[in-house]
Amino acid sequence: MPTSRIYRTAVWGVGIALAAMLLALVYTLGYVSHTGTKAAESQQSGTPAASGGTVDFSTLDQILGILNQQYFGRANLDPQSLYEAAIRGMLDSLSDTGTFYIDPTSNQISVGPTGSFDGIGATVSKNGNNIVIVAPFAGSPAAEAGIKAGDIILKVDGESTQGWAVDQAVLKIRGPKGSTVTLSVQHAGGTTEDLTITRDEVHVDTVTTTPPGGTLKDASGNTISDLAYMNIAQFSESTPAEVKRVAGDAESSGKKGLIIDMRVNPGGLLRETVDTADAFLDSGVILSEEDRDGNQNVYRAQAGGVALHIPIVLLVDEFSASGAEVLTAALHDNGRATVVGEKTFGKGTVNISQPLKDGGALYVTIRRWLTPKGAQIDEVGITPDFVVTPGPLDPGYDQNNDVQLQRAIEQLENPSPIPATATPLPVTATPVPATAIP
């Protein structure tokens, strides 16, 4: 992996935040193009241990052999499951949610950091024994071919989908740009047809402007037209440009305020998160990084953002992690935003993804990051200025009566002072060095 790519680091998922993101992305019908280093070589017996001495990994093979020969339930043994469990057991011993293993299937069918992929451009789910289209992406090959939400995929290239798992369907339907796939589909009215679709590059927008419920409304049900709304689902390579377009339009059009919704945002690429924060700052520290030797690098805002004056309220919840927390801390600590919602996840580490020989990936924690005020938020999270529940994944949430969004609107329309009891960010004695990085 080239150095420039290695340090486009990210959270692409941590603990439950990873699960939340994969629910949204892992079943996208497409093929993700990955760039990276040669897959890491497998460990051999006699491998040096980090703390000295050697570790004999051949014992794992010995255990597998004993199970295959003597275990009462050996007919139910799944070598792949045992192999993945051994990997996860090793990583679980680190007590670090930022270092984790992605199995080959999940790695292959997930949408990667570019925010684009090659495929037909639709998401699927399973309903009983049927593979069903959740929705085609606007302008995608699937949409242009006539695929509609609710369509049942009966066959893929002539092969019946009955009993297929969702990931099996995704792997069969995805493919490189320019190739074709024929889907036999049953539409909502019961009619069936065969559709041959040419796969293409599909872009997944990480920034959208339609609020929950479709229209921005206050607690009284009044439509709000003088505020702008922006949801950032994650931070990919396209995110800064998307954010700058929406934020710049909001400020230039004279909107009284901007709501940035980062609920259920698991993070993403670090450089792109920094560039996103820079859109709202003219100066100041965005974050600092600290490596295992205690060395620090500082990311500072550059002069000339696109939205430097419009008031901002950030919406966060317990699934807002890493990059979402970086942006939250950067705008809050620099006096650019008020925070509403629930306490965030608490992911304060920086990770790289290393491809593995089995087609999976290993995410490794290489540094930790600190807020502009020098706070470490890992396993701590960020408490909003105004704590409001429920959020999108909480019981009782109603997108047509989103109380967190309503509180954000109220704060922009009639600003309230931050309660004296609020502790938005933990404060540590760790100083942020005065030196800047390029």
- Transcribe 290-355 into DSSP letters: E-TTS-EEEEEPPS--S-SSS-EEEEE-TT--THHHHHHHHHHHTTSEEEEES------EEEEEEE
The whole-angstrom separation of Cα 20 and Cα 196 is 32
Residue 259's DSSP bridge partners are 229, 313
Tokens, residue 260: 């940035």
Quick check: 424 pLDDT over 50? no
Tokens, residue 97: 């949610």
| In contact, 396 and 350? CB cutoff 8 Å | no
Q: Which of 26-40, 157-171, 301-315, 321-335 has the weakest average pLDDT?
A: 26-40
pLDDT band, residue 112 (cuts 50/70/90):
low
**pLDDT computed for residue 285 by the predictor:** 98
Cβ within 8 Å of residue 285, ≥6 positions away: 298, 299, 300, 301, 330, 333, 334, 372, 432
What's the rounded mean pLDDT across residues 394-418? Answer: 94
Q: Which residues of 104-141 are buried (b: 16+ CB within 10 A; e: fewer)?
A: ebebbbbbbbbbbbbbbbbbbeeeeeebbbebbbeebb
Quick check: 433 pLDDT over 80? no
* Identity of the amino acid at 430: T
Classify residue 431 by burial, with Cβ atoms within 10 Å: 0-12, 13-18, 19+: exposed
| In contact, 364 and 354? CB cutoff 8 Å | yes
* Alpha-carbon distances, residue 398 vs 229, 402, 405, 406 (angstroms): 18, 6, 11, 12
Of the candidates 247, 411, 407, 255, the one whose C-alpha atom is nearest the C-alpha of residue 327 is 247
Cβ within 8 Å of residue 379, ≥6 positions away: 346, 348
* Alpha-carbon distances, residue 309 vs 72, 115, 279 (angstroms): 69, 29, 11
| Helix pair 270-278, 323-333: axis angle to 10 deg | 30
What's the rounded mean pLDDT across residues 102-111? Answer: 76
| In contact, 328 and 344? CB cutoff 8 Å | yes
The whole-angstrom separation of Cα 56 and Cα 64 is 14
**pLDDT computed for residue 204 by the predictor:** 78
Preceding amide of 240 cis, omega within 30: no
Instruction: Extract the runs of DSSP E, i.e. beta strands, from 157-191.
Output: 159-160, 180-186
Cα 19 to the center of its chain, rounded Å = 9
**pLDDT computed for residue 33 by the predictor:** 30
**pLDDT computed for residue 329 by the predictor:** 98
pTM as predicted: 0.75
pLDDT band, residue 191 (cuts 50/70/90):
very high
The whole-angstrom separation of Cα 377 and Cα 404 is 23
**Choice between 159 and 115, residue whose per-residue pLDDT is larger:** 159
Tokens, residue 403: 């109380």
Check the CA dihedral 173-174-175-179 and report its sign.
Answer: positive
- Provide the annotated active-site residues: 322, 333, 347
Give the mean pLDDT of the chain: 83
**pLDDT computed for residue 428 by the predictor:** 35
**pLDDT computed for residue 52 by the predictor:** 57
Cβ within 8 Å of residue 264, ≥6 positions away: 20, 21, 233, 317, 319, 320, 392, 393
What's the rounded mean pLDDT across residues 366-380? Answer: 93
**pLDDT computed for residue 261 by the predictor:** 97
**pLDDT computed for residue 103 by the predictor:** 83
pLDDT band, residue 438 (cuts 50/70/90):
very low
Q: What is the pLDDT of residues 352-371, one digit of tens each?
A: 889 999 888 898 999 999 99
Q: Which residues of 358-383 are buried (b: 16+ CB within 10 A; e: fewer)?
A: bebbbbbbbbbbbbbbbbbbbebbbb
Of the candidates 360, 382, 361, 357, the one whose C-alpha atom is nearest the C-alpha of residue 372 is 382
H or E, element range at 17: helix 15-25
Quick check: 434 pLDDT over 70? no
The whole-angstrom separation of Cα 403 and Cα 18 is 25
Q: Which of 14-18, 265-269, 326-330, 338-342 has the weakest average pLDDT?
A: 14-18
Quick check: 49 pLDDT over 80? no
**pLDDT computed for residue 277 by the predictor:** 98
Q: What is the pLDDT of residues 216-251, one digit of tens each?
A: 999 999 999 999 999 998 899 999 999 999 999 999
**pLDDT computed for residue 116 by the predictor:** 73
Tokens, residue 434: 């005065």
**pLDDT computed for residue 51 by the predictor:** 57
Quick check: 42 pLDDT over 90? no
| In contact, 119 and 29? CB cutoff 8 Å | yes
